[in-house]
Amino acid sequence: MTGLIPAHLDHRRIWEDFVYCYPVISRRSKGVSLGVNLNPDKICNFDCVYCQVDRTAPGMGRDIDLDQLEREMSALLDLTLDGGLFTFPPFDSARPEQRRLNDIAFSGDGEPTTAKEFAEAVERIAHLKWQRGLEDVKLVLITDSSRLQAREVVQGLDTLMANNGEIWAKLDAGTEAYYQEINRTSIPFARIIENIEITARLRPITIQSLFLSWKGAGPSFAEIAAYCDILRGIQGMGGQLKGIQLYTVARPAPEPEARPLKAKELEELADQVRAALPTVPIEVFYGPGDDQGTGEHSCPS
């Protein structure tokens, strides 16, 4: 991209021509979420069975052009704040209560904390928010929890949390075997748990968990019991669980055997989690047929 389209010209494809930033109406944010994709190369350290990123198509370079990222986000902020976003499909179909800027989320085509520019990207976005007086707009990190203790990531988290930040940490399993089956990564499950536990001692976190029907079956009662035991253990070690987001596959996944749980199945699973963790707020997001707005961030679904 050689430059930005002036604000007085046609906006319909402006974000489609961007490399790093994009808008969605998010179920989880209940409003407009402006995404920051720090992985345009489509490289991720997980290979989740439900991931909807098309990795058969080539990605872009690994290095992030932070100046371009800042320009893109600045343009999207202006377009959202002046209401121009809602004059173009599909955002013109957003309900009145959805036409609010809720957050700026670091998510996209891979794990955002693997980008070496992560900390500086957070700092630049926080500055844009401050320039516009958007103290109430959240900064959200949607993460697979694999690098939460890396020094450069902690630096970014400090900036994030100082600017109305939230950490949404993925946990899709209760056992190593199921974790490897669903998330397909070389990163040990114990490291994920440790990262979440240590981070939650220092900062409140939201757990985001996608449960699905895989190869014809959802997670077993024992698997969810083990998942609950992990979260209870994190609480027992002083971890601050701000909430749990439970959801399932919302759009067709490349893996044909990755299917959404039925609403009844997901609700039964949620009841099991509620019984085990009665003090933690739980939100449930259902699959196809639920009101999904006009989009959602790529990770974890």
Determine the pLDDT at residue 173: 98
Determine the pLDDT at residue 279: 97
| Alpha helix stretches (DSSP H) within the chain | 66-81, 118-131, 151-161, 176-183, 189-202, 221-236, 263-276
153 vs 88, higher pLDDT: 153
8 vs 188, higher pLDDT: 188
Determine the pLDDT at residue 90: 86
Q: Coil, helix or strand for 193? A: helix
Give pLDDT tens digits for 250-281: 888 889 999 999 999 999 999 999 999 999 99
Phi then psi for residue 165, to 5 deg, are -90, 160
**Tokens standing for residue 70:** 């800042």
Q: Is the pLDDT of residue 10 over 70?
A: no
**Tokens standing for residue 82:** 């002046």
- In CATH terms, the superfamily for domain 21-285 is Aldolase class I (3.20.20.70)
Residue spans per domain, the chain: 21-285
Residue 32's alpha-carbon distances to 113, 125, 146, 208, in angstroms, are 23, 16, 27, 19
What do you get for the CA distance between the two ends of the chain, in Å? 27
* Spatial contact of 300 and 208, defined as CB atoms under 8 Å apart: yes
Q: Is the pLDDT of residue 196 over 90?
A: yes
Q: Is the pLDDT of residue 300 over 90?
A: no
Determine the pLDDT at residue 17: 83
Instruction: Quote the DSSP letter at residue 262.
Output: P
Q: What percent of the chain has pLDDT over 70?
A: 87
Distance CA 292, CA 301 (A): 12
- Scanning the structure block, which residue is given the tokens 């056992």? 175
| Mean pLDDT over the full length of the chain | 89
27 vs 298, higher pLDDT: 27
Q: Coil, helix or strand for 111? A: coil
Residue 283's alpha-carbon distances to 26, 34, 171, 271, 273, in angstroms, are 14, 21, 15, 11, 11
Mean pLDDT of 40-55: 89
Determine the pLDDT at residue 12: 40
Residues 6 or more apart in contact with residue 62 via CB below 8 angstroms: 41, 43
| Residue whose C-alpha is closest to residue 139's, from 98, 100, 167 | 167
Q: Is the pLDDT of residue 288 over 70?
A: no
Q: Coil, helix or strand for 93? A: helix
Q: Coil, helix or strand for 242? A: strand
Q: What percent of the chain has pLDDT over 90?
A: 75
Distance CA 189, CA 84 (A): 44
Q: Is the pLDDT of residue 227 over 50?
A: yes
Give pLDDT tens digits for 159-174: 999 999 999 999 999 9
| Residue whose C-alpha is closest to residue 20's, from 165, 93, 120 | 120
Give pLDDT tens digits for 49-91: 999 887 666 667 678 999 999 999 999 999 999 999 999 888 8
Distance CA 196, CA 155 (A): 16
Distance CA 210, CA 285 (A): 9
Q: Is the pLDDT of residue 199 over 90?
A: yes
**Tokens standing for residue 139:** 């900064």
